[in-house]
Amino acid sequence: MNVPDAVRALSRTLRGHGGGLELVSDGDVPAVRYTGMCAGCPGRPACHEGLVAPVLLALPGVRGVDAPGTRVDPVARARLQRFTGGEGGPR
Residues in the chain: 91
What are the strands, taking DSSP E only, across the chain?
19-25, 31-36
| Domains identified in the chain and CATH numbers | 3-84 (3.30.300.130)
Q: pLDDT, tens digit, for every residue of 18-48?
A: 999 999 999 999 999 999 999 999 889 888 9
Q: Give the 3-state secondary structure of residue 66.
A: strand
pLDDT at 49: 87
Q: Is 56 exposed, middle or buried (0-12, 13-18, 19+ CB in 10 A)?
A: buried
Q: pLDDT, tens digit, for every residue of 45-76?
A: 888 988 999 999 999 999 999 998 888 788 88
pLDDT at 89: 42
| Residue that wins the pLDDT comparison between 84 and 19 | 19
Residues 6+ positions from 35 with CB-CB distance below 8 Å: 19, 20, 21, 22
pLDDT at 87: 56
pTM: 0.82
pLDDT at 86: 60
